[in-house]
Amino acid sequence: MKPSESTRRRRLWGQFFVGLVYFSLLAAIVSEITEHPYVFVWFGLLAAVAICAGLALTWATLWALRDDGRLGQFGIGSLLFLTVFAAMFFGLVRWLDDAIERTAPTLHDQGLQFSVVAVGVLLMLLMSIPYAIGLTESVIWLAVWVLRHPMVRRLFGRQ
């Protein structure tokens, strides 16, 4: 049985607001740890989610359209996308590690502290995936709805 339009729209709005609340709480935690203003951390976190979602969608689209490789072959494009994700991950870990070190030095062994922060960030990222997917899906469908709206279509000269 196909869900009605209002049920789908309600689900998308729910995903949107749940994603915003989750990332707002995450931004509050990071803001408290790093002692940076909440608004900057919130906008930075949402920008990072948007960039990662865009990169992941681009990567998945390019992978699905690929017809020049064998099954299971790892392309150079995939390696470049993985490098970007790894750079973002280690940049976030380094930033949090430096912020924690400045506010309250905890461990004498810097390698151990970096590893603890890296594991914490990895767990945070893994828990954020469902919320990021829901937020991204709702934003994409919101954009589709806005572009299909008659007023917007008249604005761009399309009937």
137-158 pLDDT, tens digit per residue, is: 888 888 888 888 788 778 777 6
What b-and-e string marks burial along 110-129, b requiring 16 or more CB atoms within 10 Å of the CB?
eeebbeebbeebeeeeeebe
For residues 136 and 12, is the Cβ–Cβ distance under 8 A? Answer: no
Integer CA distances (angstroms), 46 to 10, 62, 80, 94, 115, in order: 22, 24, 23, 19, 25
82: confidence class by pLDDT, cuts 50, 70, 90:
confident
pLDDT for res 74: 65
Could you say which DSSP state residue 92 is in?
H
pTM over 0.85: no
Query: According to the model, what pLDDT value does residue 72 have?
Result: 60
pLDDT for 21: 93
Residue ranges of domains in the chain: 5-155
Stated length of the chain? 159
